[in-house]
Structure 1
């Protein structure tokens, strides 16, 4: 059965029976690809190329009017109906519920996991991104460094929160690896590697964060997910 969505005019599905991922391997994008690799769900990845302004195309906006990645279409959604979905936090929660993986079934632990997922979406993602703007992109040329320093200070605070949480734990929720780790740790990696802001934010001070990040990056599914979709 063909997918029933306008986005297929620009990104035809070779395997329409599989979950369709529309993404780019940014910190937000890789949340979805890592989750898909960790769960083993069959899927097809489509590159949304920012260099060609794909995210503003009418086809992509039909799926996500907020013009951000990732977004998915699951032809086998709830009740066997097609589900189109955007926002990384919603996608992670949906995929966890669909597969019964990486989100605790115990209700209390479930909500405690989701609070860390939302902590990343509401705090870590935006703040780390602002540090990136002021260190790697246009903001680096501004003479007034007060805006940059404000975001650096908040990023250090968030890293301190995370470092404290990881003290004595293997992962954010303890011994169990969850969607919280998949949400948070790509942003930390990006802050250090892509933005090159490790020294600026004093990443060496956050021993537990560096320990858990290293373990995260050792996971085969993470290594695969970080390269999906492949850039042309």
Structure 2
């Protein structure tokens, strides 16, 4: 870069050494801003390059109508969509895939999971079993189906992080069944080393103001609480 000589030096004839000192001073003063600007620009380009190199990883939420957001105006109002908003606000390199299907049972999920695994996933959140419980499906059958789903995910993506959402059924299903159903989820989580959400509907189940008219599916406000329940477990993994 060419040094800029001040008119001051040309007007006054200074001794050689003094001239060089003063010239150096002016050159340094004139160059500093440009050098800082250049360094700043280089740093910005480097930061942009680093961000662009971050690979966006997929989080698959696999579940039933709770995951799908049945009854809500938009799917992004369901708890997976709320999780995506939090991820975006923190600029984390993750993309949420909502794999919820209303009415899905564990058996149906076991049949459906394969094609959803065609896209690589880094985190798998399993939310299934509630419809089994409401239909009184034998708990050993539900557990077998859920384990099969987990096995398929682990086989396809061994490094995938696994999360299991626990579920409960109403007392009307009978004490024996209620207890047997409840134990499915912590047992699966322990056996498969999965992060565990004890009860997805904690703080929402039974709360009239947080559920739609059917008393089963959360409102948009209810889904905010579901997102909180999930985020407590999921956030440290991201």
TM-score w.r.t. length of structure 2 = 0.29
Bigger Cα Rg: 2
User: TM-score if structure 1 supplies the norm length?
Assistant: 0.30
Q: Which has the higher contact order (CA 8 A, sep 6+)?
A: 1
